[in-house]
Amino acid sequence: QQGDEVVLWGEGLPADEVAQSVGTIAYELFCHVTARVPFVEV
């Protein structure tokens, strides 16, 4: 639902693995996250 928290990558789900599964690199994933998405580092 709108407003729900989601995790795109993080502990247990490295960005490199996510990127590999969609045929790209982690840098590309980071570049395509828009300003609308709050970036929270824990």
Q: How far apart are CA 27 and CA 8, in angstroms?
A: 14
Range of the domain at 32: 1-37
> Is residue 2 scored above 90 in pLDDT?
no
Query: Please, what is the average pLDDT of the chain?
Result: 88
Provide the pLDDT for residue 39.
75
Please indicate, yes or no, if residue 23 is contained in any of the structural domains: yes
Please indicate, yes or no, if residue 42 is contained in any of the structural domains: no
Cα separations in angstroms, 36 against 21, 24, 40: 24, 22, 12
Instruction: Please state the domain count of the chain.
Output: 1
Provide the pLDDT for residue 36.
79
Q: What is the mean pLDDT of residues 1-10?
A: 85
